[in-house]
Structure 1
Amino acid sequence: MKKTTYYEPQPECDNYPWKDGRVCSANGKFKRKMIPERFVVVCPEGHISDFPIAKWLHSDGQHIYDPNTCKIRRSTGGASANLTGVFYQCTCGAKKSMAGATRKGALKKIGFQCKSSKPWLGIYGGENCNCDPEDVKVVLRGATNVWFADTRSSIHIPTDDEATSRKIIAILDEHFDALNASRVNGEFNKDIVQFLANSKGVDF
């Protein structure tokens, strides 16, 4: 399955023919939409990452993960309502439950490293976080304790004329994608904003 972001179209199931279990329709009209995995990883520095399913599943050393050939699926079974009843299975033969994934240090043992991702800001990692992998936690994606916003209120009274305000809005609309892509730790790059303001003849 291709990794996507929050801003891309929702991907569809590729209808891989598993030997057992349910099979999705190959008819394009009835293809199932893929949904986000239920588990995420959070770190003390405020980053959120996808749970490393492939690394967790192949951590026994008996099976080698190949992203080009391996297909992974999740299944639930048994009477247990806890994580021991959630299994991941790969076409290479690897199979493992989520039992123990929420224990302290569980991800450190498989070599997980936080990549400083903040997907709600369009930041998808690229550099290692300074947090101790021992302190990262596996939580449910929809849990209320995953992330708390820092809400601040302010009153802005514009002093410029309407023509200037409309010009600034038009410039932002035109170049927003480039500005958004140049964010540093979630903040707009001030040098780029200053350059854009100077080139367009507006105050920064």
Structure 2
Amino acid sequence: MMKNLLKITPIACIMLAFSIMSCEADQDEMMEVQQTQSKMLTANATIESSDLVGRWELVSMTSDVAVNLNDGEPDSSTNILEETDCFNAMYFHFYDNGNVETGQAKLNFTTPGGFSCSYGAYSANYDVVNENDTTKLEVTFDLNGMTITETKNISLSSETDGEYLTVTLTAAEVDGASYINDGRENTVVGDVTQIETVYKKI
């Protein structure tokens, strides 16, 4: 019996090792699923005005169509921050009293091969509206004696390195040249229907 037991034991050990490795793999997969679900829940959760309080700085700006804003160095890209540094300083600073300060930029093409970058810091009032599984940021400000309200789709997400605010520029805003006033045919900006900006909380 001892001989049989000794013969079985190494095989049993190998099977046990495979079983442990399988359990560890299952646990890793389960943790990945839980993290993904947690991230999705965070991104899809109802956003309150208080969730925005703080300063958010631009870290990503992506268009749905590749554009060429620097004469092909590098080639056309959907990563607008690779094409120009005009927008690098953009930010939002939300306060708990309903006020927001924001730095916004606009790229203006003037003559073939020439462009200028205009930048300004503004103060406004803001509100967050949740409806139909969509969260909208409403920013209200006075311009030349008129009260104007701009509405943008937003979402929040949490990553291991911080919190992120995504602000999506709608097709109408893109057409209105909110960020890029295109004066050249080869930039392809006219084909863009959506720009997604991502801000990180600091």
Q: What's the TM-score once normalised by structure 1's chain length?
A: 0.21
Greater per-residue strand proportion: 2
The structure having more radius of gyration, on CA atoms, is 2
Greater per-residue helix proportion: 2
Where relative contact order (Cα < 8 A, 6+ residues apart) is larger, the structure is 2
Q: What's the TM-score once normalised by structure 2's chain length?
A: 0.21
